[in-house]
Structure 1
């Protein structure tokens, strides 16, 4: 379990980009579902001001669903957040 915890905490501080190369923000924290023992969201701060300019995002940033994550490496790649953000579905959570 310690190696899994190390992997989770290593996400903090990584930059997040859409698969189209648009900077979205920086991972500030990880949202966990302790009962299911899975990551279910990433809390982002240092947001792209242009992307979220017309939105009340909360005091610190946004939470994106972990299911949007496509790849994790030196940066985190997510599905194109701009398209999803402009027409969010019912189970999409963006505000902190």
Structure 2
């Protein structure tokens, strides 16, 4: 379990980009489901103002669902944030 914990904490501080190369933000924290022992979200800060300028994101940032993550390496690559964010709002889910 210690190696898994190290992997999870190594996400903090990584930059997050959409799959089309747009900077989204930086991972500030990881949201865990302790019952199932899985990561279910990433808390992002230092958000790209072009993406979130007109959105009510709170003071610190947004939480994106971990299912949006496509790859983790030197950076975190996620599905296109703008399309996902807008479709989530239309479905009535709250992702922020």
The bucket for the TM-score relative to the shorter chain is: over 0.9
Question: Structure 1 residues 44, 74: closer, same or farther in 2, change over 3 A?
Answer: same
1:72 and 1:35 map into 2 onto residues whose CA distance is 24
Structure having the higher helix fraction is: 2
Residue 33, structure 1, aligned to residue 42, structure 2: no
Map 1:35-74 → 2, pairs under 5 A: 35-74=35-74
| Alignment gaps of 5+ in structure 1 | none
Deviation for aligned residue 1:86: 2.2
Deviation beyond 3 Å, 4+ runs, structure 1: 89-92
Contact 1:65–1:92 (8 Å) recurs in 2: no
TM-score of the superposed pair, with normalisation by structure 2: 0.94
TM-score of the superposed pair, with normalisation by structure 1: 0.94
Q: What do the CA deviations read for 1:53-95 (whole angstroms, capped 9, x no partner)? A: 10110110000000000000000000001111222234451x2
| Corresponding residue pairs, total | 94
